[in-house]
Amino acid sequence: MHFPDSVKNIIKQLEAAGFEAYAVGGCVRDSLLSFTPPDYDIATSAAPDEIKEVFSDCKIVDIGAKHGTIAVITDDENCRKIEITTFRADGEYSDSRRPDSVTFVRDLKSDLARRDFTVNAMAYSEKTGLIDLFGGAEDLKNKLLKCVGEPEKRFSEDALRIMRALRFMSEHGFTCEAETEKALRKLKENLLKIAPERIMAELDKLLLGEFAEKIIIEYVDVLGVFIPEIKDCAGFDQRNNYHIYDVLTHIAKVVSAVPKERILRVAALFHDVAKPQCFILKDNLGHTRGHAAKSAEIAEETMRKLRYDNAAIKQVKLLIQNHDDKFKTDDVSVKKLLNRFGIETLEQLCILQKADDSAKADFVKEERKEQYLFIEKASEIIEKGECFSLEQLAVNGNDLLKSGFEGKEIGIQLQKLLEAVITGEAENKKEILLKRIG
Ligand code: ATP
Ligand code: MG
């Protein structure tokens, strides 16, 4: 197993001071999988004060003395911040969220025993090699996600582990061991007791996972605890030849078809979630008019509950509201689109629409090919420096003020001029535009 020198050195320094120290958790799991871990955690028998003492010559940050975590800042470009945590044992859990007490202990075993899944409960140091008390390496080889200890007890202690299970399955393609699976489904409602922002963080990681499609479909009952509307999408037949999948399968496929970017993946998750409630049958054909607006509403409401930031909510809403629009591809229409959305949003809309169509009947992709030309047109317009926004207009508010306009009228006139420039009625030149209003 390969660990960076900075990690090995920290372990050695703690050992030299008479303590035990190991790389633990996610970084051991990832290293065994031959991935480069996003960060490295070290667990030690040293108490927080003792850790500080050992690293008194280094730059350290106390990131939670209560939990016994101290970060050492290194000059290793690949892992600037290494978190060192004192071995802990969690006390009783009475609220499905957090332990009533945390005690620092001197033995590694208790620290590993409190960890959620066997694959996350291994330790490593150069001195000892891999320490695997719960069969994590074997489970990792078999891609099996299994609780450390008794699953019902572990999920009752901390219901967030239910979402963490889904997230690890989505990230790594693990399957869930039978007892672990039974327990997480049984206790899923306890997720409602968990701080929403913690659910959001796990949901984001789930959505960005390689296996998101599979997990969304298989664990819709769990997601349904905090997105009730998504449960109705499971098995919902759209009764329309544009669609070959039920709504949930379609949603899951679109999530996996967009790039691994948070906004796009969240937008994909919610983009059709209101279809079941908008569904009507006309001449034996399914229609879901208004589903884009309604899905955007559900996205907003759910994202607010989960404490997503306002910018994310606004962008996801915008993408969903317009995901089903057919954009024209002539010059004037594309300039108006650029003016309305800006190039970044337009690109995201194009990606979402393509992904959406990729999860429909084959003929749809063929039929819509032309429709996506709007994005190439938009790039051409930008490249040529053609005007589509007020900022690019050759006159501004001051010019109009000088020409005798006041207050609201300035904005109205500027809009009119922009419209004339976009439609090609007027050239974007100051004297021409001033003459037009003069
Ligand atoms: P990532 O690669 O996303 O960082 P990770 O496994 O390192 O994954 P973290 O959330 O960073 O996940 O947690 C670090 C370790 O702490 C886990 O590997 C696990 O051993 C333990 N852990 C974290 N959260 C919990 C929890 N809610 N219950 C039990 N153990 C947990
Ligand atoms: Mg981690």
Task: Find the mean pLDDT for residues 308-317.
Answer: 98
Q: Which ligand is nearest to the CA of 122?
A: 1
Q: Is 120 in the pocket of ligand 1 (CB under 6 A)?
A: yes
CA of 161 to the centre of ligand 1 (A): 9
Residue 279 has pLDDT above 90, yes or no: yes
pLDDT digits (tens, 9 = 90+) for 89-144: 887 778 887 777 778 888 999 999 999 999 999 999 999 999 999 999 999 999 99
Strand, coil or helix: 22: strand
Q: Are 71 and 27 in contact (CB under 8 A)?
A: no
**Ligand 1 center–CA 424 separation, angstroms:** 58
d(CA 105, CA 361): 59
User: Is 300 a pocket residue for ligand 1 (Cβ < 6 Å)?
Assistant: no
Q: Does the C-beta of 238 come closer than 6 Å to ligand 1?
A: no
Verify whether ligand 1 is closer than 6 Å to residue 38 (CB atom): yes
Q: What is the number of the ligand 1 atom nearest to the C-alpha of 164?
A: 27
**Ligand 1 atom with least separation from CA of 41:** 14
The protein residue with its alpha carbon nearest to ligand 1, atom 4, reads 26
Residue 65 has a pLDDT of: 64
Q: Would you say the CB of residue 257 lies under 6 angstroms from ligand 1?
A: no
Tens digits of residue pLDDT in 205-235: 999 999 999 999 999 999 999 999 999 999 9
The contacts of residue 148 (CB under 8 Å, 6+ apart) are: 112, 113, 114, 115, 116, 117, 118, 121, 134, 154
Higher-confidence position of 379 and 371: 379
Ligand nearest to the CA of 168: 1
Angstrom distance (rounded) from CA 363 to CA 169: 33
Is 158 close to ligand 1, i.e. is its CB under 6 Å away?
yes
Q: Which amino acid is at 321?
A: Q
Atom 6, ligand 1: which residue's CA is nearest? 26
